[in-house]
Amino acid sequence: MTEMVYGSVPVRGGDPVLPRWWRTVDKWSISAILMLFGTGLLLGLAASPPLAARNGLASFHYVERQVFFGGVALVTMLIVSMMSPSVVRRLAVLGFLAAFVSLLLLPFLGTDFGKGAVRWYSLGFTSFQPSEFLKPAFVVLAGWLMAASQEVAGPPGKSISFAIVAVIVGLLALQPDFGQAALILFAWGVMYFVAGAPMFLMVSIAGGVVAFGMFAYSASEHFARRIDGFLSPEVDPRTQLGYATNAIQEGGFFGVGVGEGQVKWSLPDAHTDFIIAVAAEEYGLILVLFIIALYTTVVVRSLFRLMRERDPFIRLAGTGLACMFGVQAMINMGVAVRLLPAKGMTLPFVSYGGSSLIAGGIAVGMLLAFTRQRPQGEIADIFQRRGR
């Protein structure tokens, strides 16, 4: 009866993998991701040639690399989405260990590429940012620990996950990379709240975050400079925020026209952190609203599916992944319109970046694996039985 009401898809044990996957996966979310990637390529065609010209490269050098890394990301996403939640959990634990070790070694072997923050490993032909891969792996690990703590005689999973996230935030703050640190802490906080954290504890953690922010402001010139720039009533038109703000204003509702934008010639990060400014200037508010609608589709559909999931691990890990995906997009766009301080964070599947694209493919693949329909009773059935 539950499957008739909610539309759960029965899965036969002998079904081939691909037909079973296609019947159970969220096709709306996959379509939204594909459209986001296509939009990123369209914007990359406009935003990256000026940078390629400045660096003495072929006009579409960065677009070609985005096609390659994006193709790898999409294939990875589809492969991961076909896995069972137990397999995803095992791979996430192994991936977390590898990414965590890479994060520990970053101060000794990493590079800053002249940006003032040691966040990458240079591999010659490309670069690798461990924090991008750490995010989805940690979310799944934390969801597993929190779910295990709800079992009878289970481990203190919530306390262990808190200790891990505290270490990760500390390591990221040392780079410094306060944006990724805040995003990981937010995802953990959402999962902790869904797992039933006491409100007093949540308020205490929020107070600790504020205290840490005040300490970082006084101790880190990098952090203080970004906060001061955000709070300043006037924007220096020669800064990236100044160029981005002006581009968004110039774009209006319909944009100035394809290829007619000027911000791409001034912004060094027009193809990455500020690509939404290129979209707003050339295509106007219409394209920006379309991009927002695509992110909203993925997040809302995932959360609605997870609301009916009765496995606490899947529910917690999936919620963390969905919220992290949506908030990262919100932070990127919020920075461009000066609603948030500058973070140096990419727009998922739209911005250029190998690590960002592939890690995003892994994260969304995990989310699709968790939100696949399964032959199970819904969580609402459990509450109804308890109420009888």
Q: pTM of the entire structure?
A: 0.88
Q: Is residue 388 part of a domain?
A: no
pLDDT of residue 49: 84
Q: Which of 165, 112, 183 is nearest to 360 (CA)?
A: 183
Q: Does residue 14 sit within a domain?
A: no
Secondary structure of 326-353 in HEC code, one letter for each residue = HHHHHHHHHHHCCCCCCCCCCCCCCCCC
Q: What is the pLDDT of residue 6?
A: 42
Q: Which residues pair with 128 in a beta bridge?
A: 121
**Res 187: pLDDT:** 95
What domain range is 315 assigned to? 2-6+20-381
CB 344 within 8 A of CB 177: yes
Look at residue 331 in the predicted model and tell me its pLDDT. 92
Residue 171 CB contacts under 8 Å (≥ 6 apart), including other chains: 103, 104, 106
Counting the structural domains of the chain, the total is 1
SS3 state at 264: helix
In the predicted model, residues of the chain with pLDDT beneath 50 are 1-9, 11
- What are residue 121's DSSP bridge partners? 128
Give a yes or no: residue 260 inside a domain: yes
44: Cβ–Cβ under 8 A, 6 or more apart, which residues? 62, 63, 66, 271, 275, 352
Q: Tell me, what's the pLDDT at 7?
A: 45
**Does residue 344 lie in a domain region?**
yes
Residue 386 maps to a domain: no
Residue 388: the pLDDT is: 53
Q: What is the rounded distance in angstroms from the CA atom of residue 140 to the CA atom of residue 181?
A: 17
pLDDT at position 128: 83
The answer to whether residue 387 is domain-embedded is no
In a domain, 268, yes or no: yes
φ/ψ of residue 233, rounded to 5: -65, -20
How many C-beta atoms surround the C-beta of residue 231 within 10 A?
Answer: 8
- Domain assignment present for 240: yes
pLDDT of residue 145: 95
> For residue 6, how many other CB atoms are within 10 A of its CB?
14
